[in-house]
Amino acid sequence: MIDLQLVRDDPERVRASQRARREDEGVVDVLRELDERRRAAEHRASELRAAQKELGRRVAKAADKAPLLAEASALAAEVRVAASAEEEARSELRALHLQVPNVVAEGVPPGGEDDYAVLGEYGPPPRLAADGPYRDHLELGEALGAIDVARGAKVSGARFAFLTGWGARLELALVNAAMDQALGAGFVPVVPPVLVQPQTMEGTGYLGAHADEVYRLADDELYLVGTSEVPLAAFHAGEILDDLPRSYAGFSSCFRREAGSYGKDTRGIIRVHQFDKVEMFVFTTPEDAPAQHERLLAEQRRFLDALELPHRVIDVAAGDLGTSAARKFDCEAWLPSQGRWMEVTSTSNCTDYQARRLGIRHRGGSGTVPVATLNGTLCAVGRTIVALLEHHQRRDGSVAVPAALRPYLGGVEALEPVTRSPAPGGGNGGGGAGGAAGGAGAESSRAASKG
């Protein structure tokens, strides 16, 4: 949550942030009113409690206690009323306070999803439609025995898939490559839980406006995380951290309902309900947060460069930041089959917004103050596989393996198409247990020896 002192001292900055996000700026005035009401209620309750204590001392010393006891009874009733008003004021303030998004950082483009600023394009030149036609990742993945959406739908429904043979090996290779890079850059590897309590989800800002994206287990009052940012952020909840920065790299499965995405990226594995990620997370001081944000972006770009993927970096507009982020950079890879950019990683500076909710502090010059939290996906496995297949495809249907990834795939330089079993109901969508096993055996023998 945002700092209420900022709302008191510089309300126009918060209003400007709301305007940039295309949110209601009137909420700032309501927040100020509720804050004043809460402080007045706390002051009134505090005065009455002090009076009650003083009266208690007088009663203890009085010879004739009866008149004072009657006064104490009346004062106790006033204290109860004041305490109720205090609790009500606090509750109303907190309810609104939790809904107000983070204050955007200076320089963030105003506007919505399409108002981003392109900061640069990197890597090899994108393969353009004029050079095609190009097969999309699903056609390539099926031919390689790597992706099976037909059986994913049969088993789990729409927006699920099996990764088989080379698909499964690519997943493990990418995760290990990403973890090795993170470890070399000073991140502590973590495998976090993926079921979290409501206060954890709320503390990271993923309830409220984002609640329709979250899977909830009502009988257990637990939530499936959509990113390991959630458990990593809460890792130090309620703690005071003396040694900063602290850097973690979490690997987990992630789950998103994809509510509101009807009709978007329905083909293949670009937008699915379950996927895996390696997520970087940093706790640091607010002053160091911008530098750490650049560090996370540099690690993301280094990973994409190692995979020899053309990509660009955008400065996400205020209205597309989400609740917790004050600034966000996205890395987008080029999809030659569609002639467009696709988000593959994102990194956010959440300043002290999450730490205030989660009670994570550090010792500053004037006592303990909230830390800053930052997150950044190093490898969203599914989307990275999509980009790898499409960009590194060759005319004969094989897919070249970038040099940096070859040690994690037994040294092979290219993936060759394999024979697969029919998909459920006929056709070539398959690769079940028998097909995957046969494909995996054929892959090593058929892997090309040339790049």
Q: Which residues are catalytic?
A: 256, 271, 343, 346, 383
Please, what's the b/e burial string for 77-102 (b: 16 or more CB within 10 A of its CB; e: otherwise)?
eebeebeebbeebbeebeeebeebbb
What are the two backbone dihedrals, phi and then psi, of residue 354, each rounded to the nearest 5 degrees? -70, -40
Q: How far is CA 309 from CA 123, 144, 305, in A?
A: 6, 20, 6
E-assigned strands of 8-143? 117-122
User: Could you give the C-alpha distances from 190 to 182, 297, 362, in angstroms and in order?
Assistant: 11, 20, 22
Establish whether the linkage from the previous residue to 133 is cis, with ω within 30° of 0. yes
Using a 10 angstrom Cβ sphere, with 0-12 exposed, 13-18 middle and 19 or more buried, the burial of residue 400 is: middle
Q: Are 347 and 294 in contact (CB under 8 A)?
A: no
What SS3 class is residue 332? strand
How many Cα atoms within 13 Å fall on the side-chain side of residue 386? 29
Task: Enumerate the H helices of 144-228 as residue ranges.
Answer: 149-156, 166-184, 198-203
In the chain the first and final C-alpha atoms are separated, in Å, by 51
Cα separation, 244 vs 293, in Å, equals: 15
Contacts of 17 (CB under 8 A, 6+ apart): 101, 102, 103, 104, 318
User: Collapsing DSSP states into helix, strand and coil, what is residue 339?
Assistant: coil
Distance CA 90, CA 37 (A): 9
Q: Are strands 240-241 and 361-364 parallel, antiparallel or unpaired?
A: parallel
Tokens matching residue 380: 């969203």
Single out the residue of 129, 387, 437, 416 nearest to residue 269, CA to CA. Answer: 387
Which residues share a beta bridge with 370? Answer: 361
